[in-house]
């Protein structure tokens, strides 16, 4: 039995346009592990060590130009180049506080996000208790007020890289 095209369209179109459906973009942290990690190691370490943000542009410390063209021709990651550029840019300017303060108990931030958190309307929630992560972080692992804001921002950014619309 063949299915008429218009039926496929009514089935597929809502998935494409609905902002609540996720899954059209690859998990950037997985993509890095799959295609970039063998040569460059951990993405945030690489970004902090070799990259910097100057005038809003991501640059290599030994390169004077913006890296977007370079990335397009370097192990091309297809449609994900702009997204990887954004991830490296954020990582280059984020201090390694998750590594220093949290990784003793939580192996990686991306792993913690995948396993335990979801995004709803841009806000990060626990999959387990359904509470906002910002509330859960309050007082967790000796966090102070400024830490809660910092880690909520970092984890929300990572969730946007992992669960892409
Ligand atoms: C086979 C090894 C290899 C793989 C795989 C690889 N790279 Fe590279 N990458 C290199 C080398 C070598 C350089 C340095 C080249 C140069 O400076 O011209 C580099 C440079 C870079 C730079 C610029 C660093 C700087 O200091 O200017 C970025 C950003 C980068 N790679 C990102 C990526 C991303 C993202 C991926 C995955 C999609 C990736 N690389 C996959 C080997 C690799
Ligand atoms: C001493 C160990 C320890 C340290 C250090 C630690 N955590 Fe946790 N964290 C845990 C444990 C254990 C749980 C699980 C609690 C549970 O099962 O309800 C947890 C849960 C969480 C959750 C809730 C996840 C969810 O969806 O319910 C978040 C978010 C979190 N940790 C973030 C952090 C951050 C950010 C840091 C660094 C500032 C950190 N943790 C440091 C042990 C730790």
- The minimum-distance atom of ligand 1 relative to the CA of 80 is 38
Ligand 2, atom 3: closest residue by C-alpha: 105
Q: Which two tokens stand for residue 1?
A: 């039995």
Cα of 140 from ligand 2 centre, angstroms: 7
Residue 136: partners with Cβ closer than 8 Å, 6 or more residues away: 126, 129
Indicate if ligand 1 lies below 6 Å from the C-beta of 40: yes
Interior angle at CA 56, CA 51 and CA 57, nearest 5: 45
Q: What is the pLDDT of residue 23?
A: 55
Q: What is the pLDDT of residue 70?
A: 92
- The minimum-distance atom of ligand 2 relative to the CA of 116 is 26
Q: What is the pLDDT of residue 24?
A: 62
Cα of 144 from ligand 1 centre, angstroms: 37
pLDDT digits (tens, 9 = 90+) for 95-112: 999 999 999 999 999 999
Q: What is the pLDDT of residue 76?
A: 73
pLDDT digits (tens, 9 = 90+) for 110-138: 999 999 999 999 999 999 999 999 999 99
Indicate if ligand 2 lies below 6 Å from the C-beta of 97: no
As averages over each run of 10 residues, the pLDDT of the chain (165 residues) reads: 43 38 74 95 97 95 90 84 95 96 95 96 96 96 92 98 90
């Amino acid at each position: 039995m063949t299915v008429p095209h218009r039926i496929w369209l009514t089935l597929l179109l809502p998935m494409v346009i609905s902002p609540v459906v996720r899954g059209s973009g690859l998990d950037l942290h997985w993509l890095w592990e799959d295609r970039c990690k063998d040569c460059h190691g951990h993405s945030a370490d690489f970004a902090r060590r070799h990259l910097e943000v100057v005038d809003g542009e991501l640059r290599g410390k030994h390169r004077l130009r913006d890296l977007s063209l370079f990335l397009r021709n370097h192990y091309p990651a297809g449609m994900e180049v702009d997204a990887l550029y954004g991830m490296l840019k954020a990582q280059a300017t984020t201090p390694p506080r998750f590594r220093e303060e949290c990784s003793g108990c939580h192996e990686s931030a991306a792993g913690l996000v995948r396993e335990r958190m979801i995004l709803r309307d841009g806000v990060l929630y626990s999959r387990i208790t359904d509470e906002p992560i910002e509330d859960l972080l309050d007082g967790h692992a000796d966090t102070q007020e400024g830490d809660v804001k910092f880690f909520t921002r970092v984890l929300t950014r990572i969730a946007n890289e992992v669960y892409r619309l």
